[in-house]
Structure 1
């Protein structure tokens, strides 16, 4: 893969706010960051820049398998993945502690991301083909991991030197011979996905990242589901399904702020359908988040919400997108 990108930028805005604040109050004053927010920072007025980059990488996969018997197969694989680098399009500026506080940062590029992934596993089934059981161990190493961060005012992608993910996963599917129409299936994953140790000098890669578990990476996760199909009436059949998903505690924020953690969680969904091979009509009734669990889907820094008592700068408050509540309904389908 070869990627070539060019970015030409022309900035405009209103005169006065940030340059005046820096002259009167200085960079350390709590009021200055508010008057120097990227979209009102007059240091951008009349600024133009041009950037270009060229990235290339070889990606692909190699797999090998060995069948011990009709019911047991093992395999090993290596794959190389690649995601091109690019440019941040939100306004980027230096922070108050940098040598050039609140001046435009015109180098908005970020490096390509690569991953080397290794996996060894097996697939098995019993002689009656009623039980299928699979498992694998894996190791993945990401280089220049592209971390997308919402700073409270901008979305900025920055490159973290390395992320390591390793663990094991298992899944099964069981069709009880004595109860025709019932299918049980599930899976369990244990994964440690952590930033490697590095010197966190970038504002967008805070000191709590090195050596920590990355966001949206629970150590344990699992699924369990049951499906039962049977005759309903005449030539109409019905299908019942209950599924659940478990995740252990994980952080939903790119900066790993403890306020953005989601607790251990089990979400259950249910569905019942009516269908016939002789009719184009199908009806389903369903419920999502059956037990109405409340959890963070994503937590983020809230802009312009500082400490009311001390009138400090933004970044001390957190907002969140909450989970959908218990939701139920019906779906009708017509095939023609």
Structure 2
């Protein structure tokens, strides 16, 4: 990282970093497949012993990311602001997905040139690039009042042509046919946050009050790693609030709080219902274009928590 301060309260910087995530093996038993042993010799062919060649097919490689960032930071007495532009290039991106029968980690890489008919290519590049701009600001007009806000624009897009390993010799899993050229799951383009905290003194006894609110506005995004259209979540707003009284030096406090106070309904993650579809190999762009959905697949979802209220007691000893 390199930084420079033209004045005491202004800094410009640039940074580069490289991240690493170790590889591993897909050990879900459904991924082991059928060994081809005759039924008379093994009544449980799915769980029969495997060969060394089978082990190689279950391996997924290490993921690396090259991250670049440039930015400007301003810190004044009563306000401050940060702005940054970033770019992250993922090679061998480890995509975690559940295809209705098994949990799979699939490496994702892009193709530099033309793909062969069997879905492989000779030269690869990062399969996922995430880039965008972030702006944050805060203001403290008085000692006991502070507000902050931020907005982020991110475009986390897969390459137009994808393969399943770093040297291009493995095609992309057929269940992931919607990934090429599209935005990664759980990556909304726009996210906006804001908060306000007020801690006024209450008389001369050392007591203080607390009034705090925050909110987060999230744009549309897909919650499924396979990007099926049924898993798209529309944008939503979540707001939280807290009010309380604190003792001298914050030795004790009582706070009443509410989470998701407007009771926004949204899906945290949607996934293919287990064993409730035909083979992923039968899913196709033609089917999506004709029906607008993966019509032979059932889906399940984990929903976000509803409006929640509570009280918190704090103490220091």
- Bin the TM-score by the shorter chain: 0.7 to 0.9
What SS does the corresponding residue of 1:299 show, helix, strand or coil? strand
1:112 matched residue in structure 2: 62
TM-score, normalization by structure 2? 0.77
Alpha-carbon distance change, 315 to 144 in structure 1, aligned in 2, over 3 angstroms: farther
Listed one character per residue, the Cα deviations across residues 175-215 of structure 1 (whole Å, up to 9, x for unaligned) are 11xx4411110111001001112245433652110111000
Contiguous gaps of at least 5 residues in structure 2: 35-45, 110-126, 164-170, 279-294
Contiguous gaps of at least 5 residues in structure 1: 1-62, 96-101, 308-313
TM-score, normalization by structure 1? 0.73
* Pair 1:249-2:212 in alignment: no
1:209 matched residue in structure 2: 179
| CA distance in 1 between partners of 2:236 and 2:217 (Å) | 6
1:158 is displaced (CA, Å) by 0.8
279, 285, 288: which one aligns with 2:256: 285
Aligned residues: 259
287, 291, 295: which one aligns with 2:266: 295
Listed one character per residue, the Cα deviations across residues 150-175 of structure 1 (whole Å, up to 9, x for unaligned) are 11221110100111011100101101
1:71 matched residue in structure 2: 9
Q: How does 1:192-203 map to 2 (within 5 A)?
A: 192-199=155-162, 201-203=171-173
Alpha-carbon distance change, 315 to 284 in structure 1, aligned in 2, over 3 angstroms: farther
| CA distance in 2 between partners of 1:120 and 1:172 (Å) | 17
| CA distance in 1 between partners of 2:8 and 2:229 (Å) | 50
1:278 is displaced (CA, Å) by 5.3
Listed one character per residue, the Cα deviations across residues 91-113 of structure 1 (whole Å, up to 9, x for unaligned) are 21469xxxxxx897542110000
Listed one character per residue, the Cα deviations across residues 44-93 of structure 1 (whole Å, up to 9, x for unaligned) are xxxxxxxxxxxxxxxxxxx0101111121100000000011111121214
Which structure carries more relative contact order (alpha carbon 8 Å, separation 6+)? 2
| CA distance in 2 between partners of 1:198 and 1:65 (Å) | 37
| CA distance in 1 between partners of 2:175 and 2:96 (Å) | 10
2:287 matched residue in structure 1: none
Q: How does 1:135-214 map to 2 (within 5 A)?
A: 135-161=83-109, 162-176=127-141, 179-199=142-162, 201-203=171-173, 206-214=176-184
Give the 4+ runs in structure 1 shifted more than 4 A.
Answer: 102-105
Higher helix content, 1 or 2: 2
**Larger mean Cα displacement after TM superposition, 102-111 or 159-168:** 102-111
Does the CA-based 8 Å contact 1:303-1:315 persist in structure 2? no
289, 303, 309: which one aligns with 1:328: 309
* Pair 1:87-2:68 in alignment: no
| CA distance in 2 between partners of 1:318 and 1:116 (Å) | 35
What's the C-alpha RMSD, in Å, of the aligned pairs? 2.2
* Pair 1:134-2:134 in alignment: no
